[in-house]
Amino acid sequence: MKAEEILEGAKTIAVVGLSRDPAKAAHGVPAVLQAHGFRIIPVHPTATELLGEKVYRSLKDIPEPVDLVDVFRPSPEAPGIAREAVEIGAKALWLQQGIMSAEARRIAEEGGLEYVENRCTAVVRATAAISKN
């Protein structure tokens, strides 16, 4: 499945590493997705609210189904996040631009998840004109 199809099929996106800093891509990209109608669920170790949404400490703490796990963490953290994404029954794992992990890919694909790496969800959204509004 292509990145555009994965994003088109997603409604609820858990963002691991959503930043408090509006100047960072890890804040701006999820904000753009939210503005285009995607449900954003922030995952952050210490924040309580980001983008007007309740923040969860881990994927396992999210009390609702997640379509896509969008990752803004360093590549070495990706395999652990992939395991959690499989455990919660997410449909896809997406590693943002500059993030790659053969191990995360293997874990995700063996767990039945679609997988994208080294691509920006906001760029794919814009070029494919995907909106949930």
Q: What is the CATH number of the domain that holds 106?
A: 3.40.50.720
Report yes or no on 132 lying in a domain. Answer: no
Task: Say if pTM beats, i.e. exceeds, 0.95.
Answer: yes
Q: What is the pLDDT of residue 107?
A: 98
Q: What is the pLDDT of residue 1?
A: 79
DSSP conformation letters of 9-77: H-SEEEEET--S-TTSHHHHHHHHHHHTTPEEEEE-SS-SEETTEE-BSSGGG--S--SEEEE-S-GGG
CB 103 within 8 A of CB 81: no
Q: Profile the chain (133 residues) by mean pLDDT over runs of 10 residues.
A: 95 97 96 98 97 97 98 98 98 98 98 98 96 91
User: What is the Cα–Cα distance from 32 to 80, expressed in whole angstroms?
Assistant: 26
Report yes or no on 18 lying in a domain. Answer: yes
Total tally of structural domains belonging to the chain? 1
Report yes or no on 33 lying in a domain. Answer: yes
The residue range of the domain holding 28 is: 3-119
Report yes or no on 77 lying in a domain. Answer: yes
Report yes or no on 133 lying in a domain. Answer: no
